Amino acid sequence: MPTITYLTTIQFDFGAVKLVGTEAKAVGISRPLFVTDQGVAGCGILNKVLEFIPDTMPITIFDGTPENPTEAAVLQALQVYRENECDGLIAVGGGSPMDLAKGVAILTAHKPPLKQYAAIFGGAKKISDKVAPVIAIPTTAGTGSEVGRGAILTLNDGRKLGFSSPYNIPRRAICDPELTFGLPRGLTAATGMDAVAHCIETYISPVINPPAEGIAIEGLRRAMGFIERAVADGSDRKARWEMMMAAMMGAMSFQKGLGAVHAISHPLGGMQEPRLHHGTLNAVVMPAVLRFNANHVGDKYSRLRQAMGLDEGVDLPSFISEFNSKLGLPANLREMGVPASVVVPMSAAAEVDHCNATNPRPATKVDYEKLINEAMS
pTM for the complete prediction? 0.94
Return the pLDDT at 272.
Answer: 85
Give residue 37's pLDDT: 96
Over the chain, what is the mean pLDDT? Answer: 95
**Residue range 253-270: mean pLDDT, rounded:** 93
pLDDT band at 1 (very low <50, low <70, confident <90, very high): low
With cut-offs at 50, 70 and 90, classify the pLDDT of residue 4.
low
pLDDT value at 69 more than 90: yes
Q: What is the mean pLDDT of residues 322-340?
A: 97
Residue 68 has a pLDDT of 86
Q: In this predicted model, what pLDDT tens digit does every residue of 19-61 receive, in sequence order? A: 999 999 999 999 999 999 999 999 999 999 999 999 999 999 9
**pLDDT(67) > 90:** no
Full set of structural domains in the chain with CATH: 3-179 (3.40.50.1970), 184-376 (1.20.1090.10)
Residue 360 or residue 160, greater confidence = 360
Q: What pLDDT shows up at residue 365?
A: 98
User: What is the model's pLDDT at position 172?
Assistant: 97
Q: In this model, does residue 6 exceed pLDDT 90?
A: no
Predicted confidence at residue 160, as pLDDT, reads 86
SS (H, E, C) the chain: CCEEEECEEEEECCCHHHHHHHHHHHCCCCCEEEECCHHHHHCCHHHHHHCCCCCCCCCEEECCCCCCCEHHHHHHHHHHHHHCCCCEEEEEECHHHHHHHHHHHHHHHCCCCHHHHCHHHCHHHHCCCCCCCEEEEECCCCCCHHHCCEEEEECCCCCEEEEECHHHCCCEEEECHHHHCCCCHHHHHHHHHHHHHHHHHHHHCCCCCHHHHHHHHHHHHHHHHHHHHHHHCCCCHHHHHHHHHHHHHHHHHHHHCCCHHHHHHHHHHCCCCCCCCHHHHHHHHHHHHHHHHHHHCCCHHHHHHHHHCCCCCCCHHHHHHHHHHHCCCCCCCCCCCCCHHHHHHHHHHHHHCHHHHHCCCCCCHHHHHHHHHHHHC
pLDDT tens digits, 127-182:
999 999 999 999 999 999 999 999 999 999 988 889 999 999 999 999 999 999 98
Query: What's the pLDDT score for residue 2?
Result: 65
- The mean pLDDT of 288-312, rounded to a whole number, is 97
